[in-house]
Amino acid sequence: MSLYQKTAHELNELLATKQISSVELTNDLLARMDAVENSVQAYVTETRELALAQAQAVDARIANGETLPFLAGIPAAIKDNICTKGIKTTCSSKMLANFVPPYDATVMEKLQAVNPVMLGKVNMDEFAMGGSTENSAFHITRNPWDLTAVPGGSSGGSAAAVAAGEAIWALGSDTGGSIRQPASFCGVVGMKPTYGRVSRYGLVAFASSLDQIGPITRDVTDCAHVMNAICGHDHRDSTSINADVPDYTKSLVCDIKGLKIGLPKEYFVEGMDAEVEASIRSAVKELEALGAEIVEVSMPHTQYAVSAYYLVAPAEASSNLARYDGVSFGHRADGTDIVDMYKKTRNEAFGPEVKRRIMLGTYALSAGYYDAYYLKSLKIRTLVKQDFERAFEKVDILVTPTAPTTAFKIGGMIADPIAMYLQDVCTIPVNLAGVPAISVPCGFAGKLPIGLQMIGKPLAEDTLIRAAYTFDRQGGHLSG
């Protein structure tokens, strides 16, 4: 097995025992990028010189006999809406095509403390708005399992890079499923932590009450280690949760005996791919055989979640993206006066999906429509959250499909926004409620991966990791 195919925990052991060097590992990843990047197109900005310098620094510390953090010297990719000081952060938009942040996001500061190697910034749907990475202003990223299919989105570059061996692990962001759905489509692990568990400071905002940074990894063990590195309170983020962070690696135990798992009937939606449903139901039987108790639950407001989300998220996007006016930073067009400049700047630099969501959000917030649309969507959001609260009175976690289908063909849905939005039917409720969830591979339909979603109580990522790890190790659904 080539180094680029290994997990972070396997590579950590090889580095610690000096069987390989970080420079050797980094060069192996760079060679893999040379071999497949033209086909996959996961990256927006490559940071090769930085990566090799970081690898050399780690090797020097190992040579000095230092015991380094788990992620030290292991190559990673960062979604291009996470600010990186001195390195372009474009959000895959013409609006920020040349934007170089003057500061690091909090997660990047935390990562610097554990010394990983950064290979570059990866592609995404523009401003994280989309479910296929076809909305990037720069190029379409392709699914490594089938280059004619999408990798999912908006963190499609992150998931594709890990699946293709162009990064060992990656960071993504999840507003309505943007970590979990691409993880499902690309056959990797993706976790959306509890809202507030990971600082959003330095994450370019899409919908501030929904956005959350999280890991995309090869397996559950790697996920636990990345969570250890990025979680924690941050006074610069007013929504950050001030609570102790457990050592998630202590949850890497194969034991779910007595765990109560809820199976919400509303998540097996009309139009779900038959092979996806069969794979999920087979996974549920495996979990039951491993000692879990399966309980059918009802979450009646699930059917309204997509509609509510596509009012809440665009409304927040309308507000957050108002700052891109051609004045302080970002793209600027010439105009006959300031209003003309605003119009031309935003028309030239925003893509069709971003414009669509800004207009939806602005309309929902406008006088005469606020109560009918935005306020009503907030009330539905509360009902969705209460569905989860009632379910968690009976069960420890919920299990659902991550997505109703496997990866669809490039161009297959881009002209039908409603069909694209409905792809998020299983993931959106999690963001509305602010609870954690993880997607793990559970099978294939043809040659395309299927994802199983596990949803937990607030701050119960440790329980999700234990359940996902048991499913992985006992069922053999992942390598490593």
- From 215, 220, 155, 229, select the one nearest 185 (Cα to Cα): 155
First to last CA, the chain: 11
pLDDT band at 479, cuts 50/70/90?
very low
pLDDT in tens, 17-36: 999 999 999 999 999 999 99
Report residue 418 as tokens. 């409603």
Kindly list the distances between the CA atom of residue 265 and the CA atoms of 269, 394, 461, in Å, as whole numbers in the listed order.
8, 15, 23
How confident is the model at residue 168, as a pLDDT?
Answer: 98
- In sign, the C-alpha dihedral spanning 37, 38, 39, 45 is positive
pLDDT score of 274 more than 70: yes
How far is the C-alpha of 116 from the C-alpha of 68, rounded, in Å?
10
pLDDT score of 283 more than 70: yes
What are residue 288's phi and psi, to 5 degrees? -65, -40
The single residue of 6, 79, 121, 457 carrying the catalytic annotation is 79
pLDDT in tens, 223-252: 999 999 999 999 999 999 999 999 999 999
pLDDT in tens, 313-353: 999 999 999 999 999 899 999 999 999 999 999 999 999 99
Kindly list the distances between the CA atom of residue 374 and the CA atoms of 48, 208, 476, in Å, as whole numbers in the listed order.
45, 15, 45
Does the active-site annotation cover 21? no
pTM, two decimal places: 0.97
How confident is the model at residue 477, as a pLDDT?
Answer: 58
Does the active-site annotation cover 199? no
- From 346, 479, 449, 375, select the one nearest 9 (Cα to Cα): 479
- From 52, 176, 123, select the one nearest 424 (Cα to Cα): 176
Mean pLDDT score, 284-299: 97
Report residue 435 as tokens. 């609870």
How far is the C-alpha of 183 from the C-alpha of 13, rounded, in Å?
25
**Helical H segments across 164-256, by residue range:** 180-186, 220-230
pLDDT in tens, 376-406: 999 999 999 999 999 999 999 999 999 999 9
The single residue of 92, 136, 173, 178 carrying the catalytic annotation is 178
Does the active-site annotation cover 385? no
Structural domains of the chain, ranges and CATH numbers in brackets: 3-259+396-475 (3.90.1300.10)
* E strand or H helix that includes residue 343: helix 338-349
